[in-house]
Amino acid sequence: MKHILTLLFALLIYSSCVAQSPIGKGGKQVNFGVGLYSSSWPIYVGVDYGVHPDITAGPEFGVDLDLNYLRIGGRGDYHFNTLLGIPRDWDFYAGLNLGFAADIGDGGVSGLDLGMQIGGRYYWSTDWGINLEFGGGNNISGGRIGVSKRF
């Protein structure tokens, strides 16, 4: 009986730890929305892959509505849910991004794009959430608002 109670207790602890992670190792989600930059309103889409219970990484793509600005890159984020005991409906993260940006319209600067971001999400259902993010880097700074879909 003592072993059964120990096993049940261990399973309870494990399930509560797993529930803290936003998407968990092996999970994925798609993010899409609009940027909040001073010079344009880019739309973006990206995918987060869970590479660790608290770390995601994945590609992202952005373009402004006038098709003058294009960005292709990747990002990595650390999710603070497990560390801070945040409920699974919420997701607070910070990370770095790396990519290539091209200002096609006005003959602007193109090249390596390095930056960082901090943001949060609220999942109103098991699969869907809204996110708000602020960030900056060597080419652009601002933020974005969008929707996330967990798989």
pLDDT of residue 22: 75
State the residue for tokens 């849910």: 81
- The rounded distance, in Å, linking the Cα atoms of 76 and 27 is 14
User: Half-sphere exposure (CA, 13 Å, Cβ side) for 96?
Assistant: 2
Q: How many helices (H) and strands (E) does the chain have?
A: 2, 8
pLDDT of residue 9: 47
**Whether the Cβ atoms of residue 145 and residue 130 lie closer than 8 Å to each other:** yes
pLDDT of residue 145: 94
- CA distances (Å), origin 53, targets 36, 86, 107, 134: 30, 14, 42, 23
Q: Which domain holds residue 146?
A: 2-150
pLDDT of residue 38: 61
* Token pair of 82 as six digits: 């497990």
Summarised one tens digit per residue, pLDDT across range 87-145 is 989 999 999 999 998 877 666 667 898 999 999 999 999 999 999 999 887 766 788 99
pLDDT of residue 35: 86
pLDDT of residue 124: 95
SS3 content of the chain, % helix, strand, coil (to 5): 15, 60, 25
Q: How many domains does the chain have?
A: 1
> What is the dihedral angle through the alpha carbons of 19, 55, 136, 36, rounded to the nearest 10 degrees?
-40
pTM: 0.79
Residue 86 sits in a domain whose CATH number is 2.40.160.20
Q: Band the pLDDT of 14: cuts 50, 70, 90.
A: very low
Q: Band the pLDDT of 2: cuts 50, 70, 90.
A: low
Summarised one tens digit per residue, pLDDT across range 47-98 is 999 999 999 999 999 888 877 788 899 999 999 999 999 998 999 999 999 9
pLDDT of residue 66: 78
